[in-house]
Amino acid sequence: MTSVYEHYGLKPVINASGRMTILGVSTPGAAVVEAVNDGLSHYFEMKDLVDKTGAYIAGLLGCEDALVVSCASAGIAQSVAAVIARDDDWLLDNLHSAPLSVPHEIVLPKGHNVNFGAPVGTMVALGGGRLVEAGYANECSPAQLAAAVTASTAAILYIKSHHCVQKSHLSVAQAAAVAREHGVPLIVDAAAEEDLQAYYAAGADLVIYSGAKAIEGPTSGLVVGRQRHIAWVKRQSQGIGRAMKVGKEGILGLTRAVEEYLQQEKVSGAAMVEKMTPFIAQLNGLHGVQARVVWDSAGRDIARTEIHLDEAAIGRSTAALVQALKEGRPAIYFRGYKANEGIVEVDVRSVSAEQLHTLYLAIASLLTGEHQG
């Protein structure tokens, strides 16, 4: 029997970049696959399925309510639409067809206005909102966030991500205090975050997660929060959410994934360091290469291998090396956010020890011009 790669002529991939959308994010376990199959094999009253699974997840996480959506980006768009339209039936049908007279500005720290594969502002616009930046790219205090809130503000949006500026920015709890003081909801996009309870506990009204990243579910998203706000998001299934609907298999798959995620023992950063130590030693034996352990810039317990390439010594640019590895077979993907500085990172969470050795051999072969056995 041919593999899926052979059947469709696809290129095998070693994912050393982490749980990234461009590579299919993650590989769910057998229990999640079974739940997806259950969803595919049965019929349900979809409203009943949405409500019951949401209540079940909320019970697991200790929040008022929850909702499975198609992805985290859809969660942002639908949450924005929800806080604008609320219970208004006319707005539910006409969100984009006429100028809005209700509050529709979404305030976020300027350093959080990022592109995570698509611009945050695009998701806000899809939800009918207008983005308003608070503070500066390298600074946003509670006072600066509060100064951007007006009578036209529908919500504050906080992006908890390594993509965002980390220094001199207020915390989720501080943003929640500003939101409460001004009587507006706080939406937190925590797509890749690993703590499914902290941001709700810190005062957020809606928190959005990717179902396929840390939770390792099927392609999906999870919105948790206050009951009234989740009810507004649910209403968007008859509005913009219709174009973003999640299937029964995604709902059941993510619900099971949340169960599994809460029960499983998390792989620690220390274990990641142990896994990558032989790989780092091999890399440091190559001319023009320096490798070391670095920790996640957003504060998560994730250790990665940072590879610094001396471009003058290796005789090629970092970008060219990264591209050559992507074009190889198997294709090898790094985290390339600092490639312009001659630095790439290896995320070992989705890579086996054998694949790390394959990665080393591929780098060594490109640098020496010799096939490595």
CA gap 352, 358 in Å, rounded: 10
* Domain's final residue, options 263, 283, 313: 263
Domain harbouring 343, CATH code: 3.90.1150.180
SS3 202: coil
Specify if 13 maps to a domain. Answer: no
**pLDDT, tens digit, for every residue of 151-165?**
999 999 999 987 777
Domain harbouring 140, CATH code: 3.40.640.10
Same domain, 56 and 78: yes
Specify if 201 maps to a domain. Answer: yes
Q: How does the average pLDDT of the chain come out, rounded? A: 91
* Domain's final residue, options 232, 263, 294: 263
Same domain, 243 and 349: no
Close Cβ partners of 51 (under 8 Å, ≥ 6 residues apart): none
Number of independent structural domains in the chain: 2
What DSSP letter does each residue of 103-132 carry, written as one string? Answer: --EEEEEGGG--BSSSBHHHHHHHTT-EEE
Q: How confident is the model at residue 141 (pLDDT cuts 50, 70, 90)?
A: very high
pTM above 0.85, yes or no: yes
Specify if 16 maps to a domain. Answer: no
The answer to whether residues 249 and 55 touch, using CB atoms and an 8 Å cutoff, is no
Same domain, 239 and 353: no
Same domain, 116 and 175: yes
**pLDDT, tens digit, for every residue of 167-183?**
789 999 999 999 999 99
Same domain, 296 and 227: no
Nearest to 70 by CA among 187, 256, 219, 281: 219
* Domain's final residue, options 236, 263, 290: 263
The answer to whether residues 355 and 363 touch, using CB atoms and an 8 Å cutoff, is no
Same domain, 259 and 271: no
Specify if 8 maps to a domain. Answer: no
Of 345 and 238, the structure prediction assigns the larger pLDDT to: 238
Segments forming the whole domain that contains residue 162: 30-263
Specify if 113 maps to a domain. Answer: yes
